[in-house]
A and B are shown apart, each in its own frame.
Chain A
Amino acid sequence: MGLHTIRNHLREATISQIALLAAILGSAVVISTGMGYIQLPAMDVIKILMAKLSGQTSLIEGMDKIFPVVVFDVRLPRILSAAIVGAGLAISGVVFQGILLNPLADPYTLGVSAGAAFGASLAILLNIGFMGTASVPLFAFVGAVGTLLFVMYLSASGGGVSSTNLILSGIIVAAILSAGISFLKYIADEQVSVIIFWLMGSFGSRTWADVGLAFLFVGCGFLIFMFFARDLNLMSLGDRTASSLGVDTKRVTLALLVTASLIAAICVSVSGIIGFVGLLVPHMMRLLTGPDNRRLIPISLLAGAILLLAADTITRAVLPSEIPIGVLTALIGGPFFCYIFRKQQKAKKI
């Protein structure tokens, strides 16, 4: 019973967990803003932020003129997009897992990521530039949403969509799209390196427009998720039981599936493919806080933001040369996931 008591005690401590994670996230933003080619002390970063927010330029008097520019035009957009994308991938992971009743589901499972990747590869290959720098993200977004609609169409039967059908359709469509991406790479010639680099994910040269867009989608998505969080708990008891407990299962499934896919799509279109965040974060947080989505969603939001921000800071400021963040998360997250998965399997055998 000792382990149970500790675990259950952890589950109760949600408010302090949220406060703690929020504090960690805040400090992580400040510290990582100071890190990089030009080192800035944390106090200077805070002063610059305060000056910008309050309009009191006296705070930054005597500082190098380049510092505020580095903070505002270079680092903050990148840092905030990393944090927001991490948050978005994590909460969409929670919801995919909840709806599909499968603790191993994530945006990959439904082919959403593959759809986005295909759209982006196509845009890069055809060198489409009518929307300027927004073309690739736009194509990625259209690819993701299109894939979602097709997967839902494939898996729909008379009575609605079942989770097994969705996962199966998602895997089939993702396999087709992967072959499509390979084909695009094959015929791409000199563009192939651009495609490969985009597919591996990066937060380099993100702008405030990216931050705003991601924040809008992830923020609205978070509110929608929280509104349906209790219904999502009931849906883990199965469709029939949830329905008898007053949940309009078809409506809730549709609302959550579309929202989670839109968040995943916008995240992929901002940063490229970043694996394992949507899978790993909800999984780890569920061990910590339990499966109640009303706690799990906000906790995963913060943990996802911290994780991806930390990973991006490592590639940007710690490693001698920048490696794609998608590669880093998969290299660290993959084996770690294998470890906790194996540990859980062993625990089950008692």
Chain B
Amino acid sequence: MSFDLNSINFYYAAKKIIDNLTITLRSGQFYGIIGPNGSGKTTILDILCKHRQPQSGRVLYGGKNISEYSKKQLSREIALVPQNFYINFPFTVEQVVMMGRYPHMPRFSAPSAQDRKCVEDIMAQTEIAGFTDRFITELSGGERQRVIFARALAQDTAVLILDEATSNLDINYSLSLLNISEQRVKQQGKTVIAVMQDINLAAVYCDYLIFMTGGKIAAHGMTREVLNPETIAAVFGVESKVYAETYCDALQVVFKK
């Protein structure tokens, strides 16, 4: 189902974070959100998953106002992989991934065989099956990030939101995470909305790019249409060259130092 954001305004105290933003995000696409720090990217994600409510404007999901969905219903539709994940209690890796199944399980029941199978498959797919019984508190930042990604996949939702999900990962796991996400879009028609720092990785995976600055959308559209030196100069204030790279079959950017 698609998102329709209409004239969204969001303030934090007196500071305007999102400024009259309107956009439609269609299902079955890979969206990348790009912009400098403090441009409102994370706030937009929080508004999409109803963690924050805008002071004005409408957010529709599948044509229905997002406020009409209960938290429970939304948790079966939208999964979030946060950045800077931190946990203080020694849950096992398997327990954490299983938490992704909670929205599908009645409050007082144990996981079904189907839940267990789902968790097992996802742990194999994300290459974390090796540390099923390890404690999340004992993992490195990158390992933890992969567990959190697996937890979000276990939630089995139509929409997957990635908030700089690859920022702690080395390149092979970054690619693996993005490959799995892309596979979900191409094969299962799911939607991925990813805030990304690495413009070149975004250019390889995203069907659409949304450039944000100062709480507004500076440019958005298909990657090959919006990714150009003018947009990058307007958003980041740096000089760059954009060229078509056949090796990864995508546009790539190099920057002038």
Q: By the criterion CB–CB under 8 Å, are B89 and A286 in contact? A: yes
Pick from B80, B89, B133, B134: contact of A244, CB below 8 A.
B80
* B13 contacts A by Cβ under 8 Å: yes
- Most B-side CB within 10 Å, residue of A286, A291, A292: A291
6 contacts between A and B (CB under 8 A): A8-B92, A236-B87, A243-B50, A244-B75, A246-B70, A246-B72
How far is the CB of A239 from the nearest CB of chain B, in Å? 8
| Contacts A101-B88, A246-B74 given; does A234 touch B82 at CB 8 Å | no
Pick from B76, B96, B133, B155: contact of A5, CB below 8 A.
B133
* A158 contacts B by Cβ under 8 Å: yes
| Contacts A102-B88, A290-B91, A292-B91 given; does A244 touch B99 at CB 8 Å | no
Distance A239 CA – B86 CA, assembled complex (angstroms): 11
Chain B residues proximal to chain A, CB less than 8 Å: 12-13, 46, 49-51, 70-72, 74-76, 78-80, 82, 85-92, 95-96, 99-100, 102-103, 107, 133-134, 148, 155, 161
- Given the complex, which residues of B lie within 8 Å of A101, measured CB to CB? 88
- Given the complex, which residues of B lie within 8 Å of A248, measured CB to CB? 71
Q: By the criterion CB–CB under 8 Å, are B49 and A236 in contact? A: no
How far is the CB of A236 from the nearest CB of chain B, in Å? 5
- Given the complex, which residues of B lie within 8 Å of A234, measured CB to CB? 99, 102
Q: By the criterion CB–CB under 8 Å, are B89 and A243 in contact? A: no
Pick from B92, B103, B133: contact of A245, CB below 8 A.
B103
Total interface residues on A, using CB and 8 Å? 29
Given contacts A4-B134, A245-B102, A246-B75, 13 further A-B contacts (CB under 8 A): A236-B89, A238-B86, A238-B87, A240-B80, A241-B80, A241-B82, A246-B70, A246-B74, A246-B102, A248-B71, A286-B90, A290-B90, A290-B91
* A191 contacts B by Cβ under 8 Å: no
Chain A residues proximal to chain B, CB less than 8 Å: 1, 4-5, 8, 98, 101-103, 158, 227, 230, 233-234, 236-241, 243-248, 286, 290-292
Q: By the criterion CB–CB under 8 Å, are A245 and B87 in contact? A: no
Q: By the criterion CB–CB under 8 Å, are A243 and B85 in contact? A: no
Distance A259 CA – B211 CA, assembled complex (angstroms): 46
Distance A5 CA – B134 CA, assembled complex (angstroms): 10
| Contacts A4-B133, A245-B103 given; does A291 touch B85 at CB 8 Å | no
- Given the complex, which residues of B lie within 8 Å of A240, measured CB to CB? 46, 51, 80, 82
- Given the complex, which residues of B lie within 8 Å of A238, measured CB to CB? 82, 85-87
How far is the CB of A166 from the nearest CB of chain B, in Å? 15
